[in-house]
Amino acid sequence: MKSIFKSIPATLAVALPSLLKYHRQSSFLPNTLLHEFTASCYRRDLPAAIKALTSMQDHQIWADSVTYSELIKCCLARGAIREAKLVHKHIFSDGYQPKTFLINTLMNMYVKFNLLEEARALFDQMLERNVVSWTTMIAAFSNARLDHEAMELLILMLRDGVRPNMFTYSSVLRACNGLPSLRQIHCGITKAGLDSDVFVRSALIDNYSKWGELPNALTVFNEMETSDLIVWNSDW
C-alpha cells in the first residue's frame, strides 16, 4: 500500500484510505440490509422486516419478488394493513417496476383484506395483466356479489386477448344474473375446451338448477366422464 501512495499526489494519498473505507462500507450496506430484510421476512418477524424495509427505502434498495411475497403473507397473517400499505409504497417507489407476479400478489392481498377499491385501483394501473390478474379481480367481485362488475371484467378480459381458465369461469359463473348470460358463458367454456373440468361443470349444474333449467343441468351432469363427488353434491 505504501508503494502505491508514493506514486500518487500527496493530497490524494491522504484522502485515499478514507475513500477506500467509504467504498467498502457503501458496498457492504446493501448486502447487509438485504440479508436482514430477507431473514426477517422468512422468520415472519414483521417489526424487523418493516424496519429493514424503511432503511432499504432510504437507500433505494429492492429485494426480489419472492421475498416481498413472504412479507405480504406475514402482513395478511397478522391483519397488518398499515404495514402492507408500506410494502406497496416501497415496491412502487422511485420508478421501480415490479414484476406482474408481485403486483398480482399485492392485489390479492387487498382482496383478502376486503379492500376492493385498492385492489381495483392497482389492477387499473397495471401495464400488463395476465390470467391471474383478471381472475383475481373477477373472483373478488363475484364473492362480493358485485355481479355486474365481474361480468364486465370477463368481457374486457376477452377483448384484451387473455384466455380465461377454469378458475376464471368457475368464479364468473357465480356472477350470472340470468339465463342469457349463463348460456353465453357456457358457450365460451365449451369453445375453450374447459367443459370437462369438474369444478366448471359443478358450477354450471348449480347455475342451471338455480334458474330452473333442470334438463340442462342433467345434460351437463350426464356428459361427465367421471361421477365426481363435487358434482354429486351440487345443488339440484
DSSP string over 191-207: HTT-TT-HHHHHHHHHH
Measured in whole angstroms, the distance separating CA 234 from the mean position of its chain's CA atoms is 30
DSSP single-letter state for residue 234: S
Q: d(Cα 171, Cα 66) in Å, to the nearest integer?
A: 26
Which of 92, 91, 101, 94 is CA-nearest to residue 63? 91
Q: d(Cα 227, Cα 233) in Å, to the nearest integer?
A: 11
pLDDT recorded at residue 195: 84
* Cα dihedral 190, 196, 197, 200 sign: positive
Q: d(Cα 78, Cα 116) in Å, to the nearest integer?
A: 19
Q: How many Cα neighbours within 13 Å face the side chain of 204?
A: 29
Q: d(Cα 52, Cα 157) in Å, to the nearest integer?
A: 38
Q: d(Cα 201, Cα 121) in Å, to the nearest integer?
A: 32
> Which parts of the chain are beta strand (E)?
none
Q: d(Cα 196, Cα 190) in Å, to the nearest integer?
A: 9
Low-confidence ranges of the chain (pLDDT < 70): 1-29, 224-236
Single pTM value for the model = 0.80
Calculate the alpha carbon distances from 221 to 125, 178, 198, 203, 230 in Å.
Answer: 41, 20, 10, 11, 11
pLDDT recorded at residue 62: 93
Q: d(Cα 107, Cα 137) in Å, to the nearest integer?
A: 8
pLDDT recorded at residue 29: 63
- Pull the grid cell for residue 82: 398499515
Q: How many Cα neighbours within 13 Å face the side chain of 59?
A: 18
- Pull the grid cell for residue 179: 339465463
